[in-house]
Structure 1
Amino acid sequence: MAPSQNQGDLSAGSIKSHVGMPALDVSLAFPQATPASIFPPSASDYYQFDDLLSSEEQALRRKVREVMEKEIAPIMTAYWEKAEFPFHVIPKLASLKVAGGTIKGYGCPGLSLTGSAFAIAEVARVDASCSTFILVHSSLAMLTISLCGSEEQKQKYLPSLAELQTVACWGLTEPDYGSDASSLSTTATKVSGGWILDGQKRWIGNSTFADVLVIFARNTETNQINGFIVKKGAPGLRATKIENKIGLRIVQNGDILLKKVFIPEEDRLPGVNSFQDTKKVLAVSRVMVAWQPIGISMGVFDMCHRYLKERKQFGAPLAAFQLNQEKLVRMLGNIQAMVLVGWRLCKLYESGKMTPGHASLGKGWISLKARETVSLGRELLGGNGILADFLVAKAFCDLEPIFSYEGTYDINSLVTGREITGIASFKPAALGRRSRL
């Protein structure tokens, strides 16, 4: 029997009128545990790794922690749920003085890689999306201009980027080329006075609002990869938001379309003449990305540590149960090992000894252990483990894209495998033989 009009009227307006009162504030709905909007104190530095830092690095870490807990923690769940970026907090992030990281001069902070890494972990501890926003802007786009740009380009772009008065993105990945990024098909054709870019980029963080876009394209004459600085609003440039993500929802990842975009010669990056030149940037950014899972794991541990002492079942706090203590200790052990590997990576880089295999093993392995750590946290929080209000569900989802970007676990394993065996195994053997015929 067909439903009556009243029975079948399930329009959005009709449904909305029947859903009842707004949800209770989580503190009222679940008063037994404190939500992540009031961030838990840090409890994960069990082996006192803070002692490994200089006084300047310790001060930076404390400053970042204070700003993130005070300014970002109260708003992050609402913006994550809406998948919107909180533009009003950019001045607060600028006040951290971490944009530009290790770059010296041009208004950049000139931090040690170790100081930058611990700072980005403190950002990720509270909100992974904010750490990705900073890393894309700083460790990819700004670092590319610093390492591969002309003196004029550095002077023109870096000072405002360091103050976050302007925002940058970094465009390498394409719809058809992710792990196989060196095969990118966006083209750069030389014309009088500059270049014409044609192609498409995908998954580019910050791209929907970036003022400066660092774009990589294939030179149609040399077939090599070149780099370009593209300005917001350039004719033929279009950036649209990728919808329906389950992780890093605050990050505005976009599809970039380039249709006959003219780039003046002065905005070609002279230091990018092959794909190999991108590796100078990726070596640093891969180390920095390894510190995001470390920070996420720290935040999840801190949340679980407080929650287990507050939440009671069977007449006792959850922290009193042996199973829960074992999981909590396993999480803590993982974090100590992850921090030590991350710290050693920084020191290898600072001493000029870090290899691509070192960076890839660090990023891949740390991401893998973070997955285990965050999954344990999800178990410990029970039903509240699926609520973003208690951080762990949000962190669980945010870790997934980090597990994939800057080299998936598998690709990073193959980079290290190639280094320790001398044999590249990125292509199936049968395909590799066929390509040589």
Structure 2
Amino acid sequence: MPALEADATFGFDPYAIADARLSPAARAALARLQQTLDRDVRPLLADAWESATMPDAVLDALVPLELMQPEGVDAVEAGSSMFSGFRNYVLARTDVSVATLYNAQSGLFRTAVALGGSPAQAADLDPGIRSFALRGAFALTEPAHGSDIAGGLATTARRTGDGWVLDGRKKWIGGAAASDVLVVFARDVDDDAVKAFLMPTDAAGVRLEQVTGKVSLRPMQNALITLDAVTVPEASRLQRVNGWRDVARILRAMRSDVAWIAAGLQAGALDAAVRYTREREQFDRPIGGFQLVQEKLARMLGNTVASLALVVQLSARQDAGEYADENSALAKMQTARLARETASLGREVLGGNGILLEHDAARFFADAEAVYSYEGTHEINALIVGRALTGASAFL
């Protein structure tokens, strides 16, 4: 009996979920991405993990692909949730830190400017964002406020003449050290409303420190940022962020990105497990022929296919104009939960070798823990879904 084979770009997809979801040009762009990842990025990953550094060569390889507006791809499709989702899926299938690095620019930063900035601001900045000529980071989370950031955001903004003075701290800000500007969310001391500001990373009063000691997403650089009386002109305030409702609108549009990354993570873990079980022999035969191994692989495939089906349908609804907090929360909650199980099974299938970077499974196993918690914990997303089901809010 012939073995089920992985698609070169999308991995194991027995129900052909990826088929007909993208134009031939978009599929070709993603195929070029996968080829670039296999040739130029994957060989760097074990050393990047070991040293907890992100090689410049990663973006050097990805930026020329112009993945936010690939040549030959219709602008509407290139900007769709479906295309950006599959882009994240392919990136995460190779490595979650790489996907997070690219999505920090293409998802977090670009979406904040597109939805939070005035039309003039968005039009002026987007070409530089697409080309990476202007690199940015999304600075919302704080050392003492993550899940409770809506009410607990403590960074302040005080109006002074034609500008603002910002004070506070931000933490876990991905890609900040390599960015030109930060999108900083702060609470206006006069009206208590949350506003957003484009702040140069080299502005007086900005101090960045690397978050060290991580056991997940090791190559991805996260920063602790201290803002000490940083002056920002009114022209650098994102004009369409005038309260938490506007921040929530931005977050709603981005939560699907993480669900796609969680699905892609599972595809990568499955790739690594299947590859290993076809090559590794014990008791004079490949371990892929053992019943207990096959059961684990089957569960991994089931989780991966279910996650892919979920995020594809979520993006289809979003591209039809339906953005619902509970839909994106459900997708993030479920795919991240399944990612934990899938990555754990993958590491388990490899036995002791599952903790070695050379076999890839260890990276996915560790990174699943970060994906489970970032951009909305399991519990917070569950409460969003529960509120939609019951009509009663359980938030404090």
Task: Give me the TM-score of the superposition, normalised by structure 1.
Answer: 0.85
Structure-1 separation of matches of 2:69 and 2:353: 38
- Shift in Å, 1:272: 0.4
Partner secondary structure for residue 52 of structure 1: coil
Answering whether residue 251 of structure 2 is matched by residue 282 of structure 1, we say yes
Equivalent residue in structure 2 for 1:123, among 91, 101, 106: 91
1:176 is matched with 144
Answering whether residue 331 of structure 2 is matched by residue 362 of structure 1, we say yes
Structure-1 separation of matches of 2:10 and 2:271: 6
- Shift in Å, 1:364: 0.4
Answering whether residue 85 of structure 2 is matched by residue 114 of structure 1, we say no
1:166 is matched with 134
Deviation string 1:308-329 (CA, Å, 9 cap, x unpaired) is 0110000100011111111111
Structure-1 separation of matches of 2:116 and 2:350: 47
Matched pairs, number: 385
Answering whether residue 28 of structure 2 is matched by residue 59 of structure 1, we say yes
- Shift in Å, 1:158: 2.0
2:9–2:31 contact (8 Å) kept in structure 1: no
Structure-2 separation of matches of 1:216 and 1:75: 34
- Shift in Å, 1:100: 7.5
Equivalent residue in structure 1 for 2:175, among 199, 202, 206: 206
Answering whether residue 49 of structure 2 is matched by residue 80 of structure 1, we say yes
Structure-1 separation of matches of 2:9 and 2:387: 42
Whichever residue aligns with residue 140 of structure 1, its letter is L
Deviation string 1:161-216 (CA, Å, 9 cap, x unpaired) is 21112321001100111000112010000002200000000011011221110000
Answering whether residue 345 of structure 2 is matched by residue 410 of structure 1, we say no
Answering whether residue 112 of structure 2 is matched by residue 144 of structure 1, we say yes
Structure-1 separation of matches of 2:185 and 2:124: 20
Answering whether residue 205 of structure 2 is matched by residue 236 of structure 1, we say yes
Whichever residue aligns with residue 237 of structure 2, its letter is R
2:196 is matched with 227
Partner secondary structure for residue 423 of structure 1: coil
Deviation string 1:71-109 (CA, Å, 9 cap, x unpaired) is 1100011011111111133132112323489xx99x998
Whichever residue aligns with residue 108 of structure 2, its letter is L
- Shift in Å, 1:373: 0.7
Whichever residue aligns with residue 122 of structure 1, its letter is V
2:4 is matched with none
Q: RMSD over aligned Cα, in angstroms?
A: 1.9
Query: Once superposed, which parts of structure 1, at least 4 consecutive aligned residues long, lie more than 6 Å away?
Result: none
In structure 1, list runs of 5 or more residues that go unmatched: 1-39, 428-437
Partner secondary structure for residue 43 of structure 2: coil
Partner secondary structure for residue 208 of structure 1: helix
Structure-2 separation of matches of 1:133 and 1:303: 22
Structure-2 separation of matches of 1:88 and 1:335: 29
1:195 is matched with 164
1:229–1:268 contact (8 Å) kept in structure 2: yes
1:381 is matched with 350
1:99–1:134 contact (8 Å) kept in structure 2: no
1:99–1:108 contact (8 Å) kept in structure 2: no
1:393 is matched with 362
Answering whether residue 389 of structure 2 is matched by residue 420 of structure 1, we say yes
Bigger CA radius of gyration: 1
Answering whether residue 282 of structure 2 is matched by residue 313 of structure 1, we say yes
Partner secondary structure for residue 92 of structure 2: helix
Structure-2 separation of matches of 1:313 and 1:344: 41
Structure-1 separation of matches of 2:99 and 2:120: 29
Deviation string 1:219-278 (CA, Å, 9 cap, x unpaired) is 010000000000121000111100000001111100010000000110001100001101
Structure-1 separation of matches of 2:351 and 2:291: 16
Answering whether residue 313 of structure 2 is matched by residue 344 of structure 1, we say yes
Partner secondary structure for residue 318 of structure 2: helix
Structure-2 separation of matches of 1:185 and 1:291: 31
2:168–2:228 contact (8 Å) kept in structure 1: yes
Structure-1 separation of matches of 2:76 and 2:55: 23
1:100–1:139 contact (8 Å) kept in structure 2: no
1:26 is matched with none
Whichever residue aligns with residue 197 of structure 2, its letter is F
Partner secondary structure for residue 340 of structure 2: helix
- Shift in Å, 1:291: 0.7
More divergent stretch after superposition (367-376 vs 85-94): 85-94
Structure-1 separation of matches of 2:120 and 2:80: 25
Structure-1 separation of matches of 2:9 and 2:291: 23
1:18 is matched with none
Structure-1 separation of matches of 2:83 and 2:361: 26
Structure-2 separation of matches of 1:211 and 1:135: 16
Whichever residue aligns with residue 141 of structure 1, its letter is F
Whichever residue aligns with residue 207 of structure 1, its letter is A
1:50–1:58 contact (8 Å) kept in structure 2: no
2:169–2:227 contact (8 Å) kept in structure 1: yes
